[in-house]
Chains A and B, each alone.
Chain A
Amino acid sequence: MKYIDEYRQIEAVQQFIGLIHEVAGSRLMTFMEVCGTHTMAIARSGIRQLLPETLSLISGPGCPVCVTPNRLIDRAVALSRRRDVLLATFGDMMKVPGSTSSLDREHAAGRDVRVVASTLEALELARQNPSKNVVFIGVGFETTAPTVAASILEAENQGIDNYKVLSAHKVMPPAMRALCAGELNLDGFLCPGHVSTIIGSKPYVFLAREFQMPCVIAGFEPLDIVQAVFMLARQVRQDTPSVEIQYTRAVRPEGNPQALKIVDRVFEPCESEWRGIGIIPESGLRIRDVFAGRDAESISVDVEPFRETRGCLCGRVLQGLAVPPDCPLFGKACTPDEPIGPCMVSSEGSCAAYYKYQWQPA
């Protein structure tokens, strides 16, 4: 298929692996990918096993479902219990455990929770169910926010007043700043490819300037990833931290101006809580006051007291401070069929990726 097969040629992958060995030498290097799709792509491709032993690729907070704190899930659960609410969500939120319940359980108990593939489907549900408030759970990064903003504008245009959004959107660069300032010893970021199609390369420049952190925006095919790792290793060796784009076919330095404009019309930055990391300033998006009628925060509900999932290491996994097998529950009490933490629930979660592709039971 066009734009796919060309990026999977094994000979070229091997060439890059050779180059990586050459340029990295025996120097210890740790690069973090902050995109769930990269986590899956790297695990699936088996690239980790081909890299020098001294070079590690670790996963960060790149799975939007995983970084969403229990508090938000509890609020969604509470909303679903109102008779006048129809909750619409992407499928990967269904099984994520909140403090005592999940949307899946509420659905089984007869609440009106529907899985949609896009906000346009959620909007359609609102059109068909005028007697209910249709609440879409907006979870995702810069790639998802424009699609949610577009649906709010479309609801405004078409006068669909019963369409609301519970916004838990997050933006990446402030979280990357928090990681740089934290206890982790990182040598570079594999920057998220599709987030960057929207925001471009400029929002990462501070990482190179303030933290001397090499950054490469990468695509998702095996060749994209090995080329990006090579570019990162080269920046480390030459001591030239900067922001480079490997994924040039989809990412322009200025991003997608139309998407950015739509997001800015509907949302404004706010502080936001990330599972495991805590509250990060300016890392979330809230609905602007002009669209207050669209904000599901205005629907009053009693939210149960918040409880952290016991024994789950997701918080540390999301910060790159632990790998899934460090968790005593991994592969035992916690599996994709019966997940305990969000990193195992979401198909983009580190624990799920590790379980599926890299783990051999003893």
Chain B
Amino acid sequence: MCIAVPMKIVRIQGDRGLVEIGTTEREVGLQLVPDVQEGDYVIVHAGFAIQVLDEKEALETLALFKEMENLD
């Protein structure tokens, strides 16, 4: 029911957006993410974008993983 895959918003038209996942595109409702912009990555659930991913936080998590790999 829940697609846990982040998708990129390629186009916004009113409260509908076009997301790109791999090579396919889908239309999703944007009613729940009023501040979304083209180029953002969103979590899509049941045909709606439910949250915008935070790039800064994502990078911080990844930096931590990198650190871990360098531990040994």
Residues of A within 8 A of B (CB): 1-4, 6-7, 9, 11-12, 15-16, 36-37, 41, 64-65, 90, 92, 117-121, 140, 143-144, 146-147, 150, 153-154, 193-194, 197-198, 219-220, 223, 248-252, 256, 258-259, 262, 346, 348
Contacts and interface: CB of A to CB of B under 8 A. Distances in A.
A242 B28 CA distance: 35
Nearest to B71: A15
Interface of B: 1-2, 4-6, 8, 22, 28-29, 31-34, 41, 43, 45-48, 50-51, 53-55, 57-58, 60-62, 65, 68-69, 71-72
4 residue pairs, one from A and one from B, having the closest CB atoms? A118-B47, A249-B58, A197-B51, A248-B57
A1 B22 contact: yes
Contacts of A41: 4
Contacts of B72: 15
A119 B47 contact: yes
A119 B57 contact: no
B60 to A, nearest CB: 7
A272 to B, nearest CB: 18
B44 to A, nearest CB: 10
**Interface residues of B: mostly helix, strand, loop or mixed?**
mixed
A146 B32 contact: yes
Nearest to A346: B1
Contacts of A36: 1-2
B53 A6 contact: no
Given A12-B68, A120-B29, A140 B43 contact: no
B1 A259 contact: no
Given A15-B69, A150-B31, A119 B46 contact: yes
Contact of A143 (B31, B33, B45): B45
Given A120-B29, A147-B32, A262-B32, A2 B41 contact: yes
B32 A259 contact: yes
Contacts of A223: 65
Contact of B6 (A3, A11, A64, A146): A3
A12 B1 contact: no
Contact of A258 (B32, B57, B60): B32
A198 B52 CA distance: 11
A117 B48 CA distance: 10
B32 A256 contact: yes
A256 B50 contact: yes
27 contacts: A3-B41, A4-B5, A7-B65, A11-B69, A12-B69, A65-B1, A90-B1, A117-B46, A119-B46, A120-B29, A143-B50, A146-B50, A147-B48, A150-B48, A194-B2, A197-B43, A198-B50, A198-B51, A219-B4, A248-B54, A248-B61, A250-B43, A250-B51, A256-B32, A258-B32, A258-B34, A346-B1
